[in-house]
Structure 1
Amino acid sequence: MINNIKGTSYLFICIGLLIQTLQAQNDLRDIPKPDLKKEQASFSIAEGFEISLYTASPMIEKPTQINFDNEGRLWVCGSHLYPQLNVNEEPSDRIVILEDTDKDGVADKSIIFYDKLIMPNGILPDNEGGAYVASSDKLIHLSDTNGDGKADKSEVLLTGFGTEDTHHTLHRLGWGPGGKIYMQQGFYVSSHVETAYGPRHLKGSGLWTYDPETRRLEIFTKGYINPWGHAFNYWGQTFEADGAGTGFGHSFPNSVVVTSPGESQSVPSLTPNSPKACGIEIISGKHFPSSWTGNVITNDFRAHITDRYSIEANGSSYKAKLEPTFLKSKHISFRPVDVTMGPDGALYLADWYSPIIQHGEVDFRDQRRDHVNGRVWRITAKGRPLLQKPDYNKLSIPELLDLLKAEENWVRLLAKQTLKTKEVKQVTNALDKWVLNLDSQEPKYDHHRLEALWTVQTLNLMDIDLLKSVLKSKNASARSAAVRVLYYWNEKVPDALVLLKTAVQDLDTSVRREAIIALSKFRTVEAFKTALLAHNRNMDQYYSFALRETSRILSKYWLPSFLKGDFDTKTGEGALIFALKSTEDQKVIQPLIDFYRNSKSPDASILSLIGKIGNPKQLNFLTEIASVKYHPHQSDAAISLLIAAKNRGVFPIRNKAEALQNLFAYGDEDVQVTACALAGYWKNAEFIDFLKQKLSKPTTSYAVQESAAQALTMFKTGDIRDFFVKIIGEDRTIGTTKLAVVALVHVDLDEGVKAIVHLLGKELDEETIDYLIKTIIKKEGALTALSSALEGKTISAETATLASRFVQASGREGVGELMAALAEAGSIESTSVVSNYGLSIQDILRKLKDGDARKGKEVYLRPQIACVACHKVKGVGSSDVGPDLGSIGASAPADYIIESLIEPSKKIKEGFKSTAITTKNGDFYTGAIVYEDTNIIKIKTSSGTEVSLQKKLIESREASKVSMMPAGLTNSLNEGDFIDLLKYLTVLGKNH
C-alpha cells in the first residue's frame, strides 16, 4: 500500500486504539495524548539547529531502527507487537520504505515492504531493492523479485540467535567500511549458530560480523549489557553504544567490555558514568558545522535527550567529552532510540514514542503501553545549505569512484555498496587508474587510498600492492586502518608477518594495537613472537588488553614449543612473563616460578596467578615465601594462598605451619587477617589457641577478631563451641560478643540461635542486627529455629522492625513465619509491606504535585532508610547493589515507582534479579551474580558484599523470586516525607 500524505492532514493521528489506555489512566493526567504539534513544541535544541517532523504514524509505528539506501529512501523496522506476541495473534510487524519525493523534508510516500515479522530489531537495505532483517532468532534477507515494491521472497540466512529476552535479540544492522554487515546482541541471550564454517557460539552480548557474499559469521567484540548501536568513524574505528549501562565505547576485534560471561579481562567504556546510550552516529559532511565533524551523537532515551560528545585520540584509543545538550524534550513519550545521517546531510532521529520503556519491570499488558505511534524527526543546521544526493545507480564507475573523496561518510559507504553491483573487472580496472591518478600532495591522499582499499575489500577481492602502499601512509590512522584490513585478509597475504613485524614497532600506539590483534589470526609461533615485539613498560589499558588476548589465543601454538625448551625470543624476560601470565594455563606456573626465583626484581603478580590456578605442589612456593622473615612479597603470597583455599579448595603440602608462624609474628593487620583465615581453611589445629587469643584479646582489631572467629568455626569441635559460649557469657564489647554469637551458629545451631535471641533482647544498633540476621539467612534450618526460640520472648519494636527488614530480603522458606515471630516479640505490626498511610496509589499520585523534590533528596540520603547503601544516582555513590536511579523518573511512570516501594519483589529491575544458592554444608546465599567461571561464582548480596563460592561445594542454585530490596524501608517516614521522597524519585533523570 502506498500512502501520500501532505500538509496539515499529515498531523492527524489515529488514536482509537489508545482510548481504552487513556480511560484507564484515572488520575495519571501527566501522560499526554499523542499530539505531534505539542511534542515538537516540547523540544529544546542547540543554537543554530532546528528540528522538524519527517514522518509519523500511520506511515510508521514504533520504529526500532532506521537506515537509508542509495536511492535516498528511509527503511524503517518497527514493532506494534512489542513486548510479546499474544495468543492467536499473527506476526504482523512490518518493514516500511519512506520517500520524500518533493524534497521538502517530509516523507510523502510510504510502501509496506513486508508485514509478517515478530519484533524485528534491525533493518539494512541491500541497495538492490531488498534488505537484511534481524528477526527474532534469525537473520533473513527479503527481496522483491517482481519489482512491485514489496518483498515476495524471504530467505533465512542464519538461525540460532538467542531469544531469551526481547530487548537483547539480534539487532542493529549496519555496513562496515569494508563491506561486511555488523550486528549486535544483548547480554541476556545465548546464540548457537550453525554456519558453513562451523558453529558459532556467543553467550552474552557482543557485536557480530557477517559477510553477505561468503556467508561467514564471526564474533567481532564481546561485552556491554545491551549494545544498541554501532558506528565507524572516518578512519574505520568502531564505536558501540550501550543501551543498558555504560554509555558508549571504542571497540576493536577481540575486544571485551565489562559483563561478558567468563571473561577475565576487559577494556573500559569511554563514558563509564554516563547514562544509557541508544543508537549512535558520527557527524560528517558539509551541512553540519565543520567543528562538529567527528563528534558522536547518541541518545539518552530515558531522559528524553540526544547527546553530543567530542572525541580525541588518547594513547591507543580515545577519550570522550560530553558537550552541551544537543536536543532535549519535556515530552515524557519522546524516546529517541536510533540516529542516522540522511542523504541531505540532516540528522534523523527515530522516536519510539512511549511513556513506558521498561520491559521486564512493567507489566506486558500495562494499558499505558503505546502500540501505535512512532515518529522520525529531522534535525538541520540553520542557514547552511542541504546536500544533493548523488544518483548512485545512474553514475558511471569512474564517477562512483570519485565519490570516495566525499566528506560524507555515508556517501563513500553507499558508493562502495553501489560499486559492488557492477561488473567486477570493470570496477578493478577503473580503480587501478583512479588510484594511479591520485595527487600524492593532496592532504587527504592517504584517506583516498584507504577508501580504495576498502572498495577492494567490499568486492571480496585482494590487492596486496595497494595494501602495502596504504600500510606505508604518512597518516597513522590510515596505517592503523590498513592493518585492520590485514586482520581480515591475514594468511592470504604472502608476506603478512613481515608487514606486521613493521606495524607492531610503529611509532603510533594505535597502529601497534591493531597489529597485535591482527597477529591473533596467524596460527604460528612466529606470529606470537612478532606480537611480543610490541611489549613495553608504557602500555595503556587497551594496548595491554590486545597483547594479553593475542598471547592467550596463540598459546596453543607457542606454549608447547616453550615448554619443550626449543623456544627463543629476543623480546626479553618481561615480555615473556607477560605472555605466560596471559595464558592462565596451569602449565606455565612452574616456568613462572623459575623466572621469579632467578630475577633480581621478581614480578609479584606471578604469585597471584599461582594462587588462582596453581596445584598443591606449586602452592608450596607461596608458603616458602610466606615463611621468609621480612620478605617483600610476604603479603602477596599470603593473599594468593587464601585465593587458592577460598575459591578452589586447594592447599599447599609443605611449610604451612612455618608460613603461619611468620605471618602472625611479622605481618601488619591485613596480613594477620589473612593468616587467621588460612589457619582455618588449612585446619591447622596447633593454631587454635592462637586464634582464640586473637578473638578474646580486647586490644585486637575488629578485622582480625572477625577473621579469627570465622576461622575457629571451621574446626567444629566441642572445645570450640564451649569457647564461644564462654565468650558470650562474659562482659565483652558488643563487637566481640556478636562475632562469638555468629560463630556459634555455625558450630552448634541450637546454642547459636539461643544466643541470638538473648542478644536481640538487648539494645542493639542497626549494624549489629544486620550482622546477626545475615548469619540466620545463611544457615539451613536457622530461620525455623529462630522462630521457635522467639516464642514468649520480648524484644524492642525498633529491633523487631530492623530485623524483619533484613529477613524479608532473604527469599528463604520460613521468612513469613520468622517475620510473624519478630512482630509478636516486638509488639509491632507486620512490616512485610510498606505503609501507604491509608492512601490509594491514585491518592498518592494526586499528592505528588505538592511534593518537594529538594526535601525528598534529603530524605533519600537518610542512612536509616538505606537508599544510598544500595543505589547510585547518575554514577555517584558508593554502592551498585541495586540499579542506578539517575533516570528512574524519566523511564518509569510514577505509579510504578510507588509500587516498587510498596512491593519490591513484584517488579524486579532487569539485571538485578538475584540468585539463591545453597551450599553442601547448608549455607544459603542470595544476590546478583557478578562473575562466574569454571571454579567459582561471585555474587553480590543485598548488603553490598561480594561472596566467592566454589562451584564444587554448591548443592543448588535457582532464581530468587524475592527482590534484594526489602519491604518496609520507608515505614519510619511520615506521610509528608514519603511524598517528598517519591517526588524526588519521579523527577530523577528529567534533567540532564
Structure 2
Amino acid sequence: MKFSHFIPAVCLLLSVACSNKDSNSLDEHAPETSLADLKVYNGLEVTLFASEPMFSNPTNMDIDARGRVWVCEAYNYRNQFNPKNPVKKEGDRIMILEDTDGDGKADKSKVFYQGTDVNAALGICVLGNKVIVSCSPNVFVFTDEDGDDVPEKKEILFQGIKGVQHDHAIHAFLFGHDGRLYFNMGNEGGLLVDAKGDTVVDVYGNKIIAKGKPYRDGLALRCNLDGSNVEVIGNNFRNNYELTVDPFGTVWQSDNDDDGNKSTRINYVMEHGNYGYKDEITGASWYKRRTNMEKEIPFRHWHLNDPGVVPNVLQTGAGSPTGMSMYEGTMLPEVFQGQIVHAEPGHNVVRAYPIENDGAGYKATIVNILEGQKDQWFRPADITVAPDGSLFVADWYDPGVGGHQMGDVDRGRIYRIAKPKSGYKITPPDVSSPDGAMQALLSPNPATRYIGWSALASFGDQAEGALQKLWTSDQVRHRAQALWLLGKLNNKGDAYISQALADKESNIRIEGIRVAKLLKKDILPIATLLMNDSSVQVRREVALALTGIATADAAEVWAQLAIQYNGKDRWYLEALGIGASKTEDLYFKAWKKKVGTNWNTPANSDIVWRSRSKYAMPLMAELIKASDEKEMLRYYRSFDFQKDPSKQQVLSMLVQQTQGDKVLYALKHMDASKLKMTPPVMNALNKVLDQYAGKIEFVELVSSFKLQSRANDLLQLGILYPDSATGKESIKALLDWNRIDLIDRVLNSKNRDEAQAMIKALWPYMYEKKTIEIMERVVMDSAKEMELRKLAVKTFGGPWESEDRLLTLAKEKKIPITLQAAAAGVFQTAWRSTLREEAAKYLKLPGSKEGASLPTVAVLVEKSGDAVKGKEVFKTVCNSCHRVNNEGVNFGPDLSEISDKLPKEAIYTAILYPDQGISFGFEGWRIKLHDGSSAFGRIVSETEDKIDMQYMNNQQTVLKENIQSRTKLESSLMPSNLQATMTEQELVDLVEYLITLKKKDGSLSLRQ
C-alpha cells in the first residue's frame, strides 16, 4: 500500500476491469494462478500459506513465537477517496492465521480485534501478551492477559500523529536486540504526542515536531518498551516505510522518493544523521535551485552535495519500498544470512541487500528472492521471518501500489518461502531456564527473541552462565546478542564492555561503544582508548559518541580522529561533523591547532567545508579565492549552513577581494536582513545586477536583497518569460512583496498576450490564498476575453487549496455557465475521485446532440458500445483532423495506437475536456502580423525565414519579416463542444472503437 502517490494510468484502468469480476478475471487472478507466476530463488520453494476469503488486503504482519501470522487488513483503506469501493462499517480487522497441522497452509483464522480505529493500520508488533498496532493518529498497545486471543485492554502508547490513513505516517514497531523499540514515520507524521496529550520531548531535550527545529520530515526513532526515553536517531527522510536492526545495533531502512524520480534508497541510519530530503536549514524541496546542485536527479533528490547529509548505502531507482526485516536464520542460502530482506511492491519483487563495508559506511548489491513474472498484481507489502527461519510475504495483491487508491478490496495472499518440502511445525519456546531462554534469544523470529530476551533479563545474574556460552562462541552475531544483556549484569557489566572494546571483531568493538552509551557510561575514556583504532568504522562510532561532550579532552580526541580522515570517505566525514554538532567551535579550534599551517590539503579542506564552526569561514574564504569557478561552488554552498553573524563580514570581504562569478556568489549567499550594507557591497551589487539583467541571477539578488525599487523590472521579466524560472520567480517575489497592484495592472490591461503570460507565471503559486483570489477575479470578470477566463479556470487544477475553492464556487453557483465545462475539465483531471463526483452535482456538464448533459466520465467508462458503429462515427466526426492507419487528415495527433497510450477514462476526458491535455507538438499559436492581421493554428514547420501553419485542412505560410509577435494558446485547437455533434450512444461507440486501436504484432487490429 504505501506505498506511493504514483498511480499509473494502467492501474486505474485495471481497477475498473477488476470491479466487474467476471469469470475470466477471477481465473486470471486466482491464488493458484498468481502462485504459479512467482519465481523464487534457486533452491527454495514458495507456497501459498493463506489467501482470500480468509482475509484481504494485508498491509503489515508479524509472526508470534507459536508460528501464527498476525495480519493487519485494509479493506477500508482510504475509502473517502474510493467511493466505489465497499466499506466495512465495523472497521478493519487484526487477524490471526494458524497452521494447526504443520503442512505449511493456514487452516484456522480468528479476529483478534476489529474497529474503525484500526482502519488500514500500517504496523503490527507482537511482544508476548502485548500487541503494538500502528494506525495514525495513534499507536495502540493491546494486552491479552489471559491468552484467549481477545484483548482485555487497549491503551495508547503515542498519539497526535498527522496523516490519518496516510501511507507516509506512523509505521511498524520492532523489538531490537538491545531491548528497545525501534520505529519510524514518514514525512506526513509531523509530530509525536504521548498518552497524556503532551508533545513528546526526546532524550536530547527536543520536541518531536518534524518542522525543522531541529528535525525534519521522516523520522527514525527508538524508545524504551514503555514508550519512555524516545530518541530520534535519524531525520529528513521522505517515506521511510519500515526499519530493521542487526544484532550489533546498526539500524537499516528503506526510503521512498518523490514518486517518479527513480531515487528510492536503502539507508544505514547513522545516529543523529540528516538524510537530505529537504534543505536542512530552510526546508526547501530538493528540486529548488541551490548552489552546487547535483546534476543527476537521483543525487539531487537527497541533497548529496550538501555538507551535513549522510550518504546512501544503495539507490534502487524507481519503486515503492515497504516492509523490511533482518534475516538471522539459517534455512535460507548463505547469501541471505545476516542480510536485509525487503518487499518492493512497485517492482513486484522481494529482495535481499548483501552488505559490504565501504570506508566508515556500507554499500550493497541486490539479490532477488521472489519475483512476479507476468502478474503485475503481485504487491509484496511486508516480509517477516518465522521461528523456523522461513520467510513469510504479505501480498497486498492489487493492480496498484496504494497511494490512497486500490483497485481490489477482496484479495490478498500470504506466501511462505522455505526449503522444498519443508513442513511448518513450530514448538513454542520454553524459557523457564536460562538455557531455554538463550535458545529463544537466538531465534530468527523477533517475537520469539523478545520472549527469550525478557526471560534472560529477569534471571539477572543467574543468566550469566548461559550468556557466557554465547559470548565465547565462534558465532559473532550470537556473541553480539549476548553482549547487550551481559553489559547490564550487576558488578560485571563493565568487565564485559571492556572485553568487547578490546575484541578482535570490529563490530563487537562498535557494539561495546553502543552498550556503554545505552548504560550511560563515561564515554571519554572509551573514546580515548579507541581514537586510533585500526578500523575506520570503529573510529566513526567514536566520533558519533562524542556528540555533546563539551570538554577540552573531548576536543583533543575529536581532533585526533579528524586528522585520520583520508579525503575520500564521506561516511567518516559526516560522522566527524555529527560528533562536533553541539561543540563546533571548541572541536574545530583543537583540530586547527593540531594541523597548524598544514590545514590547506585536499583532505583538510573537506574538514573545513563540513564544519559548522565560525572559525571555518575565514578558511573557506581562502579556499574560494584559490579555487576555480567550479570548485568554489561547494564552499559557497557551505556558507548556507553557517549561523554565526560573522558570516556576513566574511562574504563582504570576498565581494571586495574577488572578481567575476565569485562576487556574484558572495552576494547570493549573504543574508540581507543581517547585513550592514556598505558602499563597496552596494557598488558590487549594482554592478552585478547590471551584468545579469534579465537572468535568473538578477531575480535572485533582487529578491534576496528585497530591492522593491526593481519591482517593475521583475514585472517585465514575468511577462516576457512566463514559462521559465526567471519569469515565475519574478512574479513570486512580487507576490511575497504583496505587489498585487502591479499584477492586476497587467491582468486588466488591453494587451491579451501580456495578461495570458501573467496567468501562466502565477499558475505555480495557486496554493496561496492571494493567488487564488487574483485568479478568481479574472474568472468572474465578464469584461475579459473568454479565452483568458478559461485559462484562469484551468489554473485551479492541481493544488488542493485551489481545487477546493473552485468546488466552493461551484456549490455556491458562482461559476458562469460559459465556464462550467472548463471547470468540469479541472475536476475531471483532479486526483481526488470524491472531488470529481462532488463537483458533478453542481456543474452543467457537456451536453450531447440530444441536448441533455452527459453523465460523468466515471459513469461513461462503465458503458459498453459498438466498436463497428464507433468507426463510422469516427469517419464522420474525427477524420477531418485525425488519422488512423494512414487515413484522415494529419492535423491532430495520429490515433492509430491511442489505446496503447491512454486508458478509456483518459480518452473520454480528452474528448470532453480537450484543454486539459494538449499533446506536445499540437499546441495552437496565434501570430500577429505587422499589417494588423493574424494567423492561427499549429506550427507544422519553421525555417529561418518562414513559418508554415495549419488549421484543419487549411495551410498558410507566414514570412518571419512580417511577424510582430506570436503567442502559444493554452486552449486546445480541438473543438470544445465536439460531443455536441454526437448522441450519448454515438460517443460511447466512438470510444469503444478508439480503445481497439492498438499496435499488435506490428499491425493494427480492430478488436471486437
Under TM normalisation by the shorter chain, which class is it?
Answer: 0.5 to 0.7
- Larger mean CA deviation between 800-809 and 132-141 belongs to 800-809
Give the Cα separation in 1 of the matches to 2:428 and 2:773. Answer: 76
Contact 1:801 1:831 in 2 (8 A): no
When the two structures are superposed, what TM-score results if normalisation uses the length of structure 2? 0.63
- Relative to structure 1, the CA distance from residue 582 to residue 841 in structure 2 (aligned partners, 3 Å threshold; closer, same or farther) is same
- Relative to structure 1, the CA distance from residue 576 to residue 159 in structure 2 (aligned partners, 3 Å threshold; closer, same or farther) is farther
C-alpha displacement of 1:231: 2.0
- Larger mean CA deviation between 421-430 and 807-816 belongs to 807-816
Match of 2:96?
97
Task: Describe the superposition over 1:330-368 as per-residue Cα deviations: whole angstroms up to 9, x where unpaired.
Answer: 556543211012123221011234445545467xxxxx6
Alignment of 1:89-238 (within 5 A): 93-116=92-115, 118-119=118-119, 120-127=121-128, 129-162=129-162, 164-189=164-189, 190-193=191-194, 194=198, 200-203=207-210, 204-212=217-225, 215-233=228-246, 235-238=248-251
Q: Does 1:482 align with 2:489?
A: no
- Relative to structure 1, the CA distance from residue 622 to residue 158 in structure 2 (aligned partners, 3 Å threshold; closer, same or farther) is closer
Alignment of 1:479-518 (within 5 A): 479-489=509-519, 492-494=520-522, 496-518=523-545
Alignment of 1:334-373 (within 5 A): 334-355=378-399, 357-358=401-402, 360=404, 370=409, 373=411
Task: Describe the superposition over 1:248-282 as per-residue Cα deviations: whole angstroms up to 9, x where unpaired.
Answer: 32223222334368567433542252311111134
- Relative to structure 1, the CA distance from residue 615 to residue 474 in structure 2 (aligned partners, 3 Å threshold; closer, same or farther) is closer
Match of 1:312?
356
SS in 1 for 2:320: coil
**Residue 300 (structure 1) aligned to one of 327, 341, 344:** 344
C-alpha displacement of 1:607: 5.0
C-alpha displacement of 1:499: 1.6
Contact 2:125 2:131 in 1 (8 A): yes
Contact 1:756 1:772 in 2 (8 A): no
Q: Which amino acid aligns with 1:216?
A: N
- Relative to structure 1, the CA distance from residue 449 to residue 610 in structure 2 (aligned partners, 3 Å threshold; closer, same or farther) is closer
Alignment of 1:765-784 (within 5 A): none
Match of 1:82?
77
SS in 2 for 1:533: helix
Q: Which amino acid aligns with 2:273?
A: S
Q: Does 1:417 align with 2:412?
A: no
C-alpha displacement of 1:652: 3.0
Q: Which amino acid aligns with 2:681?
A: K
Q: Does 1:427 align with 2:470?
A: no
Match of 1:626?
655
C-alpha displacement of 1:315: 2.5
Match of 1:267?
310
SS in 2 for 1:570: helix
SS in 2 for 1:378: strand
Alignment of 1:716-795 (within 5 A): 752=746, 757=751, 759=753
Q: Which amino acid aligns with 1:327?
A: E
SS in 2 for 1:544: helix
Contact 1:348 1:377 in 2 (8 A): yes
Contact 1:336 1:351 in 2 (8 A): yes
Contact 2:441 2:453 in 1 (8 A): no
Contact 2:323 2:381 in 1 (8 A): yes
Match of 1:464?
494
Match of 1:884?
none
Give the Cα separation in 2 of the matches to 1:977 and 1:545. Answer: 60
Match of 1:875?
none
Match of 2:684?
659
- Relative to structure 1, the CA distance from residue 830 to residue 81 in structure 2 (aligned partners, 3 Å threshold; closer, same or farther) is closer
Contact 2:99 2:106 in 1 (8 A): yes
- Relative to structure 1, the CA distance from residue 982 to residue 414 in structure 2 (aligned partners, 3 Å threshold; closer, same or farther) is farther
Q: Does 1:378 align with 2:416?
A: yes
Match of 2:573?
544
Match of 1:927?
none
SS in 1 for 2:503: coil
Give the Cα separation in 2 of the matches to 1:434 and 1:460. Answer: 19
- Relative to structure 1, the CA distance from residue 980 to residue 512 in structure 2 (aligned partners, 3 Å threshold; closer, same or farther) is farther
* Percentage of matched positions with identical amino acids: 20
Q: Which amino acid aligns with 1:493?
A: K
Q: Which amino acid aligns with 1:184?
A: N
Q: Which amino acid aligns with 1:550?
A: G
Give the Cα separation in 2 of the matches to 1:635 and 1:976. Answer: 60
Task: Describe the superposition over 1:28-62 as per-residue Cα deviations: whole angstroms up to 9, x where unpaired.
Answer: 99864874333334434444433222123454444
Give the Cα separation in 1 of the matches to 2:363 and 2:59. Answer: 28
Task: Describe the superposition over 1:103-159 as per-residue Cα deviations: whole angstroms up to 9, x where unpaired.
Answer: 2112234444444552343222223x3333335444443333334343223344444
C-alpha displacement of 1:755: 7.4
- Larger mean CA deviation between 34-43 and 335-344 belongs to 34-43
Give the Cα separation in 1 of the matches to 2:541 and 2:429. Answer: 33
Task: Describe the superposition over 1:836-887 as per-residue Cα deviations: whole angstroms up to 9, x where unpaired.
Answer: 9989557668799999xxx99xxxxxxx99xxxxxxxxxxxxxxxxxxxxxx
Give the Cα separation in 2 of the matches to 1:423 and 1:675. Answer: 71
Give the Cα separation in 1 of the matches to 2:280 and 2:912. Answer: 36
Match of 2:47?
52
Contact 2:64 2:447 in 1 (8 A): no
SS in 2 for 1:449: helix
Match of 2:38?
43
- Relative to structure 1, the CA distance from residue 625 to residue 675 in structure 2 (aligned partners, 3 Å threshold; closer, same or farther) is farther
Give the Cα separation in 2 of the matches to 1:478 and 1:271. Answer: 28
Residue segments in structure 1 that go unaligned for 5+ positions in a row: 1-20, 363-367, 684-710, 857-863, 866-887, 907-965, 985-992
Give the Cα separation in 2 of the matches to 1:125 and 1:469. Answer: 34
Task: Describe the superposition over 1:907-949 as per-residue Cα deviations: whole angstroms up to 9, x where unpaired.
Answer: xxxxxxxxxxxxxxxxxxxxxxxxxxxxxxxxxxxxxxxxxxx
Match of 1:253?
271
SS in 1 for 2:668: helix
Contact 1:180 1:458 in 2 (8 A): no
SS in 2 for 1:281: strand
Q: Does 1:592 align with 2:617?
A: yes
- Relative to structure 1, the CA distance from residue 844 to residue 76 in structure 2 (aligned partners, 3 Å threshold; closer, same or farther) is closer
Give the Cα separation in 2 of the matches to 1:62 and 1:429. Answer: 46
Contact 2:567 2:606 in 1 (8 A): no
C-alpha displacement of 1:655: 1.0
C-alpha displacement of 1:101: 3.0
Contact 2:78 2:165 in 1 (8 A): no
Give the Cα separation in 2 of the matches to 1:145 and 1:92. Answer: 24
C-alpha displacement of 1:379: 1.7
Contact 1:548 1:578 in 2 (8 A): no
- Relative to structure 1, the CA distance from residue 24 to residue 314 in structure 2 (aligned partners, 3 Å threshold; closer, same or farther) is closer
- Relative to structure 1, the CA distance from residue 614 to residue 182 in structure 2 (aligned partners, 3 Å threshold; closer, same or farther) is closer
- Relative to structure 1, the CA distance from residue 509 to residue 81 in structure 2 (aligned partners, 3 Å threshold; closer, same or farther) is same
- Larger mean CA deviation between 615-624 and 115-124 belongs to 615-624
Give the Cα separation in 2 of the matches to 1:388 and 1:257. Answer: 43
Match of 2:287?
none
**Residue 635 (structure 1) aligned to one of 661, 681, 691:** 661
SS in 2 for 1:133: strand
Give the Cα separation in 1 of the matches to 2:635 and 2:745. Answer: 45
Q: Which amino acid aligns with 1:469?
A: Q
SS in 1 for 2:310: coil
Task: Describe the superposition over 1:60-85 as per-residue Cα deviations: whole angstroms up to 9, x where unpaired.
Answer: 44433222233333333334443369
